[in-house]
Structure 1
């Protein structure tokens, strides 16, 4: 498959590209900065230029041309500029959904965040609230899109080495998870069409990724 990765130079995406390439797929990294090209080629990715915040849905559709699936892995993060929680986390997702439909790409996997359906504590601040609300609304839009969607909601992300052991399911409680393990789960769900229509929390655990996906499907 050719798999478009929106947010193609993000920390999860950089771990996902080589996994997809090793499995025989072509990751298509969508980035706004051409300076990343050599690095991404070295990870096995094709590179296409897309400015998530300023491009329209038609530009997203053009960037998805020839792809079999879309992974939305972009994000403004829980800190920083409150405006980017809308322009990246929400509007970027909405334009990706619209662009996928225009391009005829039905498979769509989205990286969200654990617990975003619950109102965030007020003491976390307005930026955190905007982040959570953007992820929540993006997930709702994807579920209503008619696409073959899967939503993965990781807990607190770390840069530790992959463990290969996770907990995955709709009611998994909060916890930490490595970005490398998130990438492994994304690669696994892309290989299994039965994961379409599922929304799962993801944290570190004691079950291998293949077993965790199988268990989540069987639950």
Structure 2
């Protein structure tokens, strides 16, 4: 399997790339900074340089050519303002989906977030609200497309070592989940065509990843 990961230098992306490479798949990380290529190579992935805030649809599509799946794991990141939440977390996700159509790549996994409805609650930080709205808009766009899409909504992310045990479903209580376990669930979803057209929430739990994915699809 050849998988292109947009936002290829992020913490989840690097873990995903390593897992894919370890089992013999071809992982291609899409990064905006050429200096990040070394980290991708260390994880066993190939690297392509593409600034998703400046690239055209055809430029992105050229990088997706021949892929079996695309994972959008990009994000504006901490310290960025409301404007970049929109240009990365929404617009770049839409751009990659447009490029999937051009490159004829049907499988698209979007890493989103839980609790997107919090954006309109009183007292929510303006930049965080912009992030939540951007993620919600990216999800809404994807659901209207003729792609084999899956939306994964992790809970609060941590850098603790993965446990290999999670709670996954259409709706789960708020909680934390390790980035390691998010990457493991993404691999399992890539292997499971029945996850297409599903939105799944993910937190830490007691069920092994493979069993959790199978149970969420029945």
Aligning the two structures, in what range does the TM-score lie when normalised by the shorter sequence? over 0.9
Matches within 5 A, 1:61-140: 61-77=61-77, 80-117=80-117, 119-140=119-140
Instruction: Tell me how far apart the structure 1 counterparts of residues 107 and 23 of structure 2 sit (CA, whole Å).
Output: 18
Structure 1 residues not aligned, in runs of 5+:
none
Report the equivalent of 1:198.
Answer: 198
Instruction: Tell me how far apart the structure 1 counterparts of residues 84 and 59 of structure 2 sit (CA, whole Å).
Output: 19
TM-score by length of 2: 0.97
What secondary structure does 1:122 align onto?
coil
Structure 2 residues not aligned, in runs of 5+:
none
Moved segments of 4+, more than 2 Å: 77-80, 117-122
Matches within 5 A, 1:51-62: 51-62=51-62
Q: Aligned residue pairs: how many?
A: 218
Please tell me whether residue 158 in structure 1 is matched to residue 139 in structure 2.
no
Task: Give the CA deviation at 1:100.
Answer: 0.6
Task: Give the CA deviation at 1:79.
Answer: 5.2
| CA distance 1:78–1:172, change in 2 (3 Å) | farther
Report the equivalent of 1:216.
Answer: 216
Instruction: Tell me how far apart the structure 2 counterparts of residues 120 and 26 of structure 1 sit (CA, whole Å).
Output: 41
TM-score by length of 1: 0.96
Instruction: Tell me how far apart the structure 2 counterparts of residues 177 and 56 of structure 1 sit (CA, whole Å).
Output: 34
Task: Give the CA deviation at 1:120.
Answer: 4.1
Task: Give the CA deviation at 1:125.
Answer: 1.3
1:56-76 Cα offsets, whole Å, 9 max, x none, are 211111111121110000011
Instruction: Tell me how far apart the structure 1 counterparts of residues 56 and 173 of structure 2 sit (CA, whole Å).
Output: 36
Task: Give the CA deviation at 1:128.
Answer: 0.8
Report the equivalent of 2:147.
Answer: 147
| CA distance 1:78–1:199, change in 2 (3 Å) | farther
